[in-house]
Amino acid sequence: MASLGTSVLRPPIITNPTPTSSRPGTSSVESKSFSALSSTPDLTAVIAILPSKPDPTFKFPPPFPSPPQNDYDEPPYSAFSPRQKLLLTLLVSFAAMFSTLSSFIYYPALVPLSQSFSVSLSLIQLTITSYLVVAGIAPAFMGDMADQSGRRPVYMLMFLLMISANVGIAMVEKWEGLLVLRMMQSAGGSGLYGGGYGVIADIAGPEERGGLVGVLLLMTDVATSLGPVIGGGLTEGLGWRWIFWFLVILTGSWFVVILLFLPETQRRLVGDGSKRAKGWVYRSFWSVFYFNDKKGKMGTEAIVVGEKMEGEGGEKRKFRFPNPLACFPVLADKGSLVVILITAINYAVKAALQTSLDAQATEIYRLSYLQAGLVYLPSGVGGGFGSFLAGRFIDWNYKRTVEKGGQQEGYDKNSPSFPLEQTRLRGIYTLHTVTVLGIIGYGLALKFRAHLAVTLVMQLLTGTSTAATFVLCGTLLTDLNLNRSATAQAASNLVRCLSAGGAVAVLQPLVEHVGPAACFGIYAGIVFLCFPLALVVQRFGVEWRVDNRRKNT
């Protein structure tokens, strides 16, 4: 206190006070606290109250406090709200269901078809093989087209192919026409699965992508159980042609829904969804109402900015013939290839199990067409639960990993060094174990002709575990190929459909030569290969992604 003047004990004389509230940027609280001093105090008094030495610990407060730094500082991945994302996912998931439904609804009608066309059952089964082959090849075209030209044009093309094929099959009179039209039906329906993944990659960030993929796969797994039930009921009650009239009504109705409500989501065209793509093919009622509502809320000045933004984002796309070879760079990527192999092995074995279920249940348990369709329900119900729960788990696990890693210095979830493979595939070894045990149990149940309930429980276990595996692998594959998500799913579709075709083709010869127990023991051994594959991608996935980033920069 010795260094302070006597004016500290005696306030300075105030002359001509000026209200501080008149000064711009001064609050009323500051005015009251500052009014004890004068706007024109005595100069010696001001000097007297200053300390002789500056306090090194004193800091002037910032004029505006800095907001806390958190994850919300990052710009949102998509302009769509959570409810809108769920609605869009439901739109494309129901559409993707038609691919699986068109395949499984066909199985109960194989014998009536062979009788109707007066051909052998093996020739009718050839239409299943051709369906799987085209289902593996066609998405290579559709996926590249969707990634280059947008989602809506490809959806229109696929639905038109499906509707036309279903009408043709319902009226066809020759086996050759059935074969061609089934391939046409497959070309239209198979691309809907990859298109759904593409839309989810457009609208969902990594922290919510798993849950939406779970919704997509839930719908496709439900179709595996509902398809045979519907097909068996229609075949027994109205005849096999009504299967395809039913598909005409269903696909035609949903095509109208897609036209009206599915907006263009391809990020090359519309960014995060706030831009408008040029061309009538990209317009829907959703986009019309969305942009009108946005202009109504943004005000006059913001409308100009919005229009400019839309113009910049509305790049006019030139037509380019789709390149089916575009999926091969995905297969050349080590991480993507391993994930695709895991998916293909599980899909091929599941297809073999479900193909055998209809034939074995009819032969061993003497079931009718409708009853043979009902035996698919446990696998489909288990697949639905597995898809939904796996989607919720994968989102929760991703957020937990981010929160734990956020405590580490230099941690960045957007960095190539983020443990993406370990995070997405956590729990996959448990799923593989359940799948292997379920397949072995299924083969033993057929060999010893156990009660039908035992066979259905094994189907429930394998359906649940394989569906959850598809969610984990499908989400990771989308994460690894965000800029070519539909093409990546086309590459996966190519490998898994060809693998499924091979697994189904050798199924009956294996059962006849070695018996059902040994046959499905071989399939269980094939699934066992997924253990080292998952270990490899978890161990080397980060290193591969860092190398890819280095090569591309």
Q: What residue ranges in 236-376 does DSSP mark as E strands?
A: none
pLDDT at position 71 is 44
How many other C-beta atoms are found inside a 10 Å radius of the C-beta of residue 259? Answer: 15
Q: Can you give the pLDDT at residue 289?
A: 61
Nearest to 391 by CA among 474, 463, 462: 474
Task: Give residue 433's pLDDT.
Answer: 94
User: How far apart are the C-alpha atoms of 143 and 194, rounded to whole Å?
Assistant: 7
Least confident of 41-45, 64-68, 394-398, 510-514: 64-68
The pLDDT, as a whole number, for residue 378 is: 86
111-117: long-range contacts, CB 8 A cutoff, minimum separation 24: 112/235, 112/239, 112/240, 113/178, 113/240, 116/240, 117/174, 117/175, 117/178
Considering the chain, what is the average pLDDT of its residues?
Answer: 76
Q: How far apart are CA 211 and CA 388, in angstroms?
A: 7
pLDDT band at 121 (very low <50, low <70, confident <90, very high): confident
Buried b (16+ CB within 10 A) or exposed e, 406-441: eeeeeeebeebebebbebbbbebeebbebbbebbbb
Within 8 A by CB and 6+ apart from 103, the residues are 128, 131, 135, 189, 227
Using the predicted structure, report yes or no on whether residue 112 has a pLDDT greater than 90. Answer: no
Residue 252 has a pLDDT of 93
Residue 266's pLDDT is 79
Encoded tokens for 73 = 């500082």
Higher pLDDT, residue 515 or 505: 515
**Residue 168, pLDDT score:** 93
| Rounded Cα gap, residues 394 and 15, in angstroms | 71
Q: Backbone phi, then psi, for 200, in 5-degree steps?
A: -65, -40
Please give, one letter per residue, the 3-state secondary structure of 70-88.
Answer: CHHHCCCCCCCCHHHHHHH
Assigned token pair, 242: 């009504």
pLDDT band per the 50, 70, 90 thresholds, residue 103: confident
Instruction: Report d(CA 292, CA 356) in Å as an integer.
Output: 54
The span from the first CA to the last CA of the chain, in angstroms, equals 64
- pLDDT grade for 352, boundaries at 50, 70 and 90: confident
pLDDT in tens, 157-178: 889 999 999 999 999 888 888 9
The residues, any chain, with a CB within 8 Å of residue 126's CB and separated by 6 or more, are 179
pLDDT above 70 for 180: yes
pLDDT digits (tens, 9 = 90+) for 133-147: 888 777 777 766 776
Q: Which residue has the higher pLDDT, 8 or 127?
A: 127
Provide the token pair at 100. 């699986």
Q: What is the mean pLDDT of residues 248-273?
A: 86
Q: What is the mean predicted confidence (pLDDT) over 69-76?
A: 55
Segment 398-437, tens digit of pLDDT: 888 888 775 555 455 666 678 888 888 999 999 999 999 9
Chain centroid to Cα 454, Å, comes to 33
Residues 139, 142, 147, 150, CA torsion sign? negative
* pLDDT average, residue stretch 463-491: 85
pLDDT for res 438: 93
Given this model, what pLDDT does residue 2 score? 41
User: What distance in Å separates the CA atoms of residue 524 and residue 336, rounded to the nearest whole number?
Assistant: 23
Q: Which of 43-52, 61-70, 287-296 is modeled with the greatest confidence?
A: 287-296
Report, as an integer, the average pLDDT of 41-70.
46
Give the CA distances from residue 464 to residues 385, 427, 430, 457, 460, in Å, rounded to whole numbers and listed in that order: 7, 13, 12, 11, 6
Q: What is the mean pLDDT of residues 13-41?
A: 43
> Which tens digits make up the pLDDT trace of 206-234?
778 777 887 887 888 778 778 888 888 88
> Would you state the pLDDT for residue 338?
93
Do 341 and 533 contact (CB within 8 A), yes or no?
Answer: yes
Comparison of pLDDT for 341 and 374, the residue scoring more: 341
pTM summary value? 0.70
Give CB contacts under 8 A, 24+ apart, made by 362-365: 364/446, 364/449, 365/452
pLDDT at 194 over 90: no
Residues with Cβ < 8 Å from 519, sequence gap 6 or more? 443, 507, 510, 511
- Residue by residue, DSSP assigns 519-535 as HHHHHHHHHHTHHHHHH
Q: What is the DSSP letter of 481?
A: T
Token pair belonging to 8: 């500290």
CB 455 within 8 A of CB 442: yes
User: In sequence order, what DSSP letters do the residues of 26-91 get, joined into one string?
Assistant: --HHHHHHHTTS-SS--HHHHHHHS-SS--TT--PPPSSPPPPP-GGGSPPS-SS-HHHHHHHHHH
Position 294 pLDDT exceeds 80: no
For 56-68, write each residue's pLDDT tens digit. Answer: 554 444 443 444 4
Calculate mean pLDDT across residues 10-22. Answer: 45
Express each pLDDT in 516-552 by its tens digit. 889 899 999 999 999 999 999 999 988 888 887 777 7
pLDDT of residue 130: 82
- Please give the DSSP secondary-structure letter assigned to residue 10: S
Structure tokens at 365: 């348990």
**Interatomic CA distance for residues 197 and 493, integer angstroms:** 12
